[in-house]
Structure 1
Amino acid sequence: MSDNASALRRRSVLVAPASDARKMAKALGSRADAVVIDLEDAVDPSSKDRARALLAEVLRDVAEADAERVAVRVNPPGSPWCHLDVAALTDLPVAPGAVVLPKVDGPEDLAFLDRLLDGVEARSGRTRPLSVHALIETAAGLTRIADIARSSRRLEALVLGYADLAASLGRAAPVGAHLDLWLPAQSAVLVAARDAGLQALDGPHLGVHVDEGFLAGAARARDVGYDGKWAIHPRQVEELNATFTPTDDQVRHARDVLAALARAAREHAAGAVALDGQMLDEAVAVAARRVLARAGLDL
């Protein structure tokens, strides 16, 4: 589990290509909880160097406090660009809040990134370790998800990546009738994340519209228990923020649960505590705290 776990909500995580300054600026100016600047899939191999330079230019206009919501997706371990991407973080005008590592097959991939980041931080003098988000998008990564989730002190979130995982498994991406096929993968990532105290983020709907498939995928991820979902177009952000924000009734119930348990503790009440016919215990309290955290409220 990360030593520097963030309280940042990530109901919506908007992805923008590092090769396009306009799209990066638009993403950074959006109402997305977090922004991922992509040096990997969204950038042609011939444009990797230019994309790194463009990322640095765009981040010059980002306040240090706002940079916490920015993550940089580097290229995968074993590629010709991963070490170059990580080294370039030293020269950015402001440090991002996190690094997203794609195609994580096992703990050794995160160990490799840890060593690279140790060097970057030593050079830059950064005292707070950069956080890491692991993209689970291969059969190997899904098989070893429990080990991955507990393999790095920097790790803050697990992200389920559908496009590459679909190719790895030889199945269709999760749209429409295919959603149910992905429940085992979603559950595996969620359980590993919760066991390690990490955020669980659903990958993007593979389309730019807020259509039936997008809405169904977002609702499914919320109902399964995910904290948020990636988006590939700004028009999807508002819907994700609404989908992953608890309703007023849910917030009210969560507060009532915690108040009832606190009152019982103060009064040293014997026996079970009940609220509106529901028996309350620590498991219910954990769920209530999560509701308030998702709503961006103090406990």
Structure 2
Amino acid sequence: MKTPKAFYQPLAIGAPAPFRDLPVALERMIHFVPPHVEKMRAKVPELISKVDVVLGNLEDAIPADAKVEARRGFIQMAKDNEFRQTGLWTRVNCLNSPWFLDDLMEIVPEVGDKLDVIMLPKVEGPWDIHYLDQLLAQLEAKSGISKPIMVHAILETAEGVKNVEAIAAASPRMHGMSLGPADLAASRGMKTTRVGGGHPDYAVLSDDSNGAARTAFQQDLWHYTVAKMVDACLSYGLKPFYGPFGDFSDQEACESQFRNAFLMGCLGAWSLHPKQIELAKRVFSPDPAEVAFAIKILEAMPDGTGAVMIDGKMQDDATWKQAKVIVDLARLVASKDSELAEVYGL
């Protein structure tokens, strides 16, 4: 751990200073693109206006014999497009793979000036972030990059979840974290082949004391981990995200999982299929009725102190803070989405 005095100092001579505050950005969905597929790369110009983040995926779901092609495809995709307000990310291969080092050595010099975030899979502890932090600083310095590239960790091992707070505190490059439910399930020895979402066998039975038929109430397999991740991220000013939902045919279950994550504090989720884009956009944008009520609270308590009654409900300093979270997010959404700006009245 660096000392407080050195925490924001660049790790290489000539590298840009890290951000002291995360750049303000709307990131309701991180949309995954397989860059080795030319047909998918061709859709990126149209995609840029529809999503908040375009991510070139180099890791899971990319065949071993297509890894180099995916890396080259991402570089070309980054060079061919202007992303403007839309974030450009890549998920590199994990640290113990034979492709990770080349991912960094080729991508950063070629398109590091356009790249906002590197998503690092299977982060197990702060040592993984320290290694990437130092390497990025050296590559930025060598390539003359003026804006620091941020790091986003995926929690997908039991050890990573155990060390989540240390990971959050590891570097000023930290952007946030995502839940990686499939790999995490395997790491924990969980008995499920689903990618995110619930499981009908993970349930609590109703009481049988009255002799009536018992009802099973399905529980959320990921509640504990999402809550732990949210607490770690927000404690250090980072952004928490739900990860993938693999059943593209079950929009209702996907929306339920995304909404649970949103209510618990997540700012977005991964979209792996085009039909999940609008779903994530809707779920991770605050409800207009909630925004309207939150605005009432802020207007009734301009300095954030005291207590007032609004629509028969008591509001005080604490609810003012809750309202501000909602209105701040609504303003951010409105800055990019003209339709919602009109609905919100912002």
In the alignment, structure 1 residue 144 sits paired with structure 2 residue 163: yes
Q: Which residue of 2 aligns with 1:181?
A: 221
Whether the 8 Å contact between 2:239 and 2:267 is mirrored in structure 1 is: yes
Higher-helix-fraction structure: 1
Figure out how many residues of one structure are paired with residues of the other and give that number. Answer: 291
The residue aligned with 1:280 is 316
Q: Partners of 1:279 and 1:240 in 2: how far apart? A: 30
Give, in whole Å, the separation in 2 of the partners of 1:249 and 1:27: 34
Q: Please name the residue that 1:63 is paired with.
A: 82
Which residue does 1:234 correspond to in 2?
Answer: 274
- 1:27-75 superposed Cα distances (whole Å, 9 cap, x missing partner): 5533121122111112222222221111122222211535x51111011
Match of 1:191, as an amino acid? D
Q: Which residue of 2 is the match for residue 78 of structure 1? A: 96
Q: 2:54 is aligned with what amino acid?
A: V
Q: Are the equivalent residues in 1 in contact too, given 2:297–2:315 (CA < 8 A)? A: no
| Contact 1:72-1:98 within 8 A present in 2 as well | yes
Distance 1:64 1:199 in 2: 21
- Code of the residue aligned with 2:322 in structure 1: it is A
Partner of 2:288: 248
Q: Which residue of 2 aligns with 1:292?
A: 327
Structure 1, unpaired ranges of 5+: 266-271
**Cα distance between partner residues in 1 of 2:315 and 2:150:** 38
Aligned 8 A contact 1:99 1:131 in 2: yes
Q: In 2, distance between residues paired with 1:8 and 1:35?
A: 13
Match of 1:219 among 259, 268, 272: 259
CA distance in 2, matches of 1:37, 1:255: 38
* Structure possessing the higher radius of gyration over alpha carbons: 2
- CA deviation map 1:122-153 (0-9, x unaligned): 12212221111111100000000011111110
Asked which structure has the greater RCO (Cα within 8 Å, sep 6+), the reply is 1
**Could you say which residue in structure 2 is the equivalent of 1:8?**
25
Secondary structure of the 1:29 match is helix
Q: 1:93 to 1:114 in 2, by over 3 A?
A: closer
Change (3 A) 1:151 1:45: same
Shift of 1:244: 1.2
Q: Partner of 2:246 in structure 1?
A: 206
Look up the equivalent residue of 1:280 and give its one-letter code: D
Q: What is the letter of the counterpart of residue 40 of structure 2?
A: K
Match of 2:221, SS state, is helix
* Structure 1 residues 280 and 2, CA gap change in structure 2 (3 angstroms): farther
CA-to-partner distance for each residue in 1:88-108, whole Å, 9 max, x for gaps? Answer: 221128521111011000000
CA contact (8 A) 2:152 2:177 kept: yes
Give the match for residue 137 of structure 2: 118
AA of the residue aligned to 2:265:
G
How far did 1:286 drift? 3.2
Single out whichever of 23-32 and 191-200 deviates more from structure 2: 23-32
Q: Distance in 2 between matches of 1:25 and 1:191?
A: 39
Deviation at 1:292, TM superposition (A): 2.4
Task: Give the alignment's TM-score, normalised by structure 2.
Answer: 0.78
2:70 partner amino acid: A
d(CA) in 2 for partners of 1:275 and 1:24?
54
Say whether the 8 Å CA contact 2:35–2:77 is kept in structure 1.
no
Aligned to 2:180: 161
Partners of 1:94 and 1:264 in 2: CA distance:
41
How many Å separate the matches in 2 of 1:27 and 1:17?
Answer: 11
User: Of 1, 13, 20, which aligns to 2:37?
Assistant: 20
Change (3 A) 1:97 1:4: farther
Q: 1:64 to 1:227 in 2, by over 3 A?
A: closer
Preserved CA contact (<8 Å) 2:286 2:326: yes
Q: Assess, with a 3 A threshold, how the Cα gap between structure 1 residues 152 and 50 changes in structure 2: closer, same or farther.
A: same
- Alpha carbons of structure 1 residues 286 and 133: separation in structure 2 relative to 1, 3 Å: farther
Alignment root-mean-square deviation, CA: 2.2
| Matched position secondary structure for 2:175 | strand
Secondary structure at 2:151's aligned position in 1? strand
Distance 1:241 1:140 in 2: 32
CA distance in 2, matches of 1:43, 1:181: 27
Please, which runs of 5 or more residues in structure 2 have no aligned partner?
1-17, 203-218, 336-345
Corresponding residue SS for 2:43: helix
